[in-house]
Amino acid sequence: MRETRTLECKETITNTFLKTVSAFSNYEGGTIYFGIDDEGKVKGLPDVRQACLDIENKINDSILPQPEYTLDIQNNDQTIKLTVKSGLRKPYLYKSKAYKRNDTATIEVDTLEFSRLILEGKNIRFEELPSKGQALSFEILHRKLKERIQIETFNQDTLRTLNLYDNDNGYNNAAEILADKNRFPGVDMVKFGENISMIQKRATFEHISVLEMYDKSIDIFRDYYEYEVIEDADRKKIEKIPEAAFREAMANALIHRAWDVESQIRVLMFDDKIEIISPGGLPLGIAEEEYLSGKLSVLRNRNLANVFYRLGFVEIFGTGITRIKQLYEDGLIKPDFEVSENTIKIMLPIFEKNLDLTEDEKIVYKVLSKIMLKPISEIAPYVPFGKSKTTQLLKEMSQKGIVVVEGRGRGTKYSIK
């Protein structure tokens, strides 16, 4: 038995466990074992029944409001299992402070996290709070509603229907995020050259409608990842990265980001991929596996998501990740998703068709996809086999029409066709 984010071991009963009770109650719940040391070895307690009373008294006297928990005697009456449930009346305080788990440690929450716990305890979301600015205009939202779903009349009743306005509190934060001008951070896009020291373009969109951020991001995407070729008398659009995948990723970032964090959504554009990094980890109530599989959707900003849905920018809630994966089903390199406590990152690679390559050929192909026209001496160091095998693989891939070979002898260079 090893300590985790939701499991802690205590060899003896001291007041330090009360911080962890606060942490478990404030978040996803957890278990504390008494009579077991940090290494998971059973040490036992001299009087488990008295220990149960001590634990119960300490919790009842020290944690406010009263958390929900159970106590069970384990291991032939040697240890105690304390199970703490995630509470509904957050924040749960120990000595007037709220705590959370950081891996296997218990730490005090910061001011922002404390505010979030208060809102959660009242079943209020940040986007539902009254906006600090009430002098808002909605020309962009009006135009989008008219263009996409033919809504001609636009007034406060329209905003009430979208849960953006009520008579008692006026506009809420979701309304301000959608307003033409606002106080919120936005999107920072950077196009790199051969390395991250070479910046070809940088564009930052902030304090404007989230709908305008979405449109401007797509415009820049098209500048670098779409082009046209002429076939006979027709023009054909080529997408280096599926635009539908980028749209899904950007909508996902804007809908699910934590808007109470003063940080931009970062879009890092490289020759071989795009990375979209959104502030705010997963909302409470959804695990990483559930998020990545599309089995469950928990909306951090449901009013904002509803507007995107009505405008047709997203389909059924919770299907964005699944949709991106489907768009790359025939791709050689798949999209990647990283979830941390404070960010979600989506990586969209250049779309390259699965060309029925062997596993070894796929390794060489991925190396070649990142470099242009290189000799064998600059390819071999990046593959796990020798120069001779690499040369043979390149020859076979050339015969398949996948790799282009230029030059002869020591001057031979290779590239993706």
- Render pLDDT for 295-336 as a digit per residue (tens, 0 to 9): 666 788 999 999 999 999 987 666 788 889 999 988 878 899
pTM reported for the whole predicted model:
0.77
- Specify the range with the lowest mean pLDDT, choosing from 82-96, 170-184, 347-361: 347-361
In angstroms, rounded to a whole number, what is the distance separating the alpha carbons of residues 256 and 334? 22
- Is-contact 286 275, C-beta < 8 A? no
What residues form DSSP beta bridges with 226? 239
What is the C-alpha end-to-end distance of the chain, expressed in Å?
53
CB atoms within 10 A of CB 127: 23
> What's the pLDDT band for 291 if we cut at 50, 70, 90?
confident
In angstroms, rounded to a whole number, what is the distance separating the alpha carbons of residues 84 and 31? 6
In angstroms, rounded to a whole number, what is the distance separating the alpha carbons of residues 67 and 65? 6
380 token code pair: 């071999």
The string of pLDDT tens digits covering residues 37-51 is 988 899 999 999 999
Mean pLDDT of 49-74: 95
* Distance, C-alpha 319 to centroid of its chain: 14
What SS3 state is found at 63?
strand
- Helix, strand, coil percentages for the chain (3-state, nearest 5): 35, 25, 40
Handedness of CA 38, 39, 43, 45 (dihedral sign): positive
Question: Residue 158 has what pLDDT?
Answer: 94
In angstroms, rounded to a whole number, what is the distance separating the alpha carbons of residues 397 and 366? 13
Residues 6+ apart with CB under 8 A from 295: 289
In angstroms, rounded to a whole number, what is the distance separating the alpha carbons of residues 72 and 52? 8
Question: Residue 332 has what pLDDT?
Answer: 79
